[in-house]
Amino acid sequence: MSITPRVVRPYQLACLVCRAGSERPEGPQEKVEELAEQVGLHPDLPLMVAANLGETFAYQDPGTADDTPEGADFNLKRDLDLLQWLDIAPGTVLPARLLLGRLLLRVPSVRGICGYEKVTGEAWRGCLKAFSGDYERGQAKGLKGLLTQRTREEMDADKVRSIAALEAAEVVKIRPHILLCSVCQYASGVRPPFAEDNLPELLQTVMEKDCKLKVKLVPSADWDMCAPCPSRIDGNDGCVCGKIGSGGLYNQVKDINVLQALGLTYGTVMDAREMYRLIFERIPTASGVCVLNAIPVPDHSFWHDGCSDSTQPAGYDKGREMLRGVF
């Protein structure tokens, strides 16, 4: 489904964080209040970050209607500074979750951005709230202070329902790379019951020699395995793990890498024990497959993969050796 991106100014993203940390009864401007409501209800609302730059980027200029009273030059500098900190170009369109996650990671304070220690002239007094501590308090809350989160009750209920479905299933849907995650979990001592996914339960079932279960390789965080996960988006099987909630991107890369390594495609249905045997045969190490260490990226990248930074990157390798004889 196509959704028209909402145009936002970079400073308005900072205002959302400031609002979340405010200890004062007065709120920010009306448009920020409305934006906060929309983003809270729809964390993946596409936002286009725009600023009045002219020249090469004139195509995305939003106009001055949303300028705050401090003046055009201050508004331009503040937006440019935030674009630099975000390390994105004006006109960039991203889900609200990713933009705000990047902002929280990259900008711990708006001192020097929304207001200045030294005021050089009337036009550069900046925002009165820049030194209030509101932004910093909002930043400390993280995305939980800005976006709707799954409740523990919802996740526990999904765990119960999905385990019952697993126990009754003949075919279980699963995204490819988390089959390797189940091996890594096993190596680290994770055993059923496990609150955040159903992989230990799946692996325990498949380890039984008379197991007849089949698996179907599917894209995204399917309910069968990922129902209780706090990082799963209900409704579209999205995955939003990682520092800035961009896990859906690098998880999709991992899935495709695993499919290529196995010589399979989405939609493949295979005996589960046979699938694990094929994985162990064709994927001797997770490096470069579901550990994305081939292309270096900074921590704030939308492609940053936490597994690449793991202090135990050989978890899969260890689990593979532990389990090869089982299958």
Mean of the pLDDT values across residues 71-86? 97
Q: What is the pLDDT of residues 283-324, one digit of tens each?
A: 999 999 988 988 888 888 999 988 887 655 468 999 999 999
Q: What is the CB neighbour count within 10 angstroms for residue 277?
A: 15
**Looking at 60-74, 80-94, 216-230, 299-313, which range is the least confident one?**
299-313
- To the nearest 10°, report the CA torsion of 274, 279, 282, 288: 170
Res 26: pLDDT: 59
Instruction: Quote the pTM value.
Output: 0.90
HSE value, Cβ hemisphere, 13 Å, CA-based, for 9: 23
Q: What is the pLDDT of residues 227-246, one digit of tens each?
A: 999 999 877 888 999 888 89
Looking at per-residue pLDDT, the higher value among 311 and 84 belongs to 84
Q: What is the pLDDT of residues 13-32, one digit of tens each?
A: 999 999 999 987 555 578 89
SS3 category, 74: helix
Res 28: pLDDT: 56
